[in-house]
Amino acid sequence: MNWKSEKGYTGIDIAVAVVVLFLFVSIIAFLSYGMNSKTREIELQSEATHLAVEEIETLKNSNFEELESKTIEKQEMAKQGFYKTIKVEDYADINSEKTRGLVKKVTVQIQYMFKAKEQKIELSTIVTKEI
């Protein structure tokens, strides 16, 4: 009498198939999470850059004399989760050979949280007095 059958799957075949399937699904899930995370990071970075450019354009369009009082420390923005810091320096403070009150350096820093870490985008521009 032959007790061993050649038909069907054995327990080892099924175990190997389950392990291979588990590894495949795990790799796909890991790659998907990584892509989604990177996409979100790029979206936040892009939004912060957009907000910084808007702030710089607003400051460029404002009166030159008003820029002296525009230094702001970490103020919450209308867009939730973003904070801005604006620093205005007279160019004479940076380069002592220059005339005071003609050129200002404006730095806008946008801060936001991503993965429990504070991220920053910083843009600077030079604004001149129209004579």
94-122 pLDDT, tens digit per residue, is 766 767 778 888 999 999 999 999 999 99
Tell me what the pLDDT averaged over the chain comes to.
86
Question: Does 13 have pLDDT greater than 90?
Answer: no
- Long-range contact list for 55-60, CB < 8 A, 24+ apart? 55/84, 55/86, 55/108, 55/110, 56/106, 56/108, 56/123, 56/125, 59/86, 59/88, 59/106, 59/108, 59/127, 60/106, 60/125, 60/127
The reported pLDDT for the residue numbered 69 is 67
SS3 61: helix
pTM of the model as a whole? 0.73
Q: Each residue of 63-84: pLDDT tens digit? A: 887 777 677 888 887 778 899 9
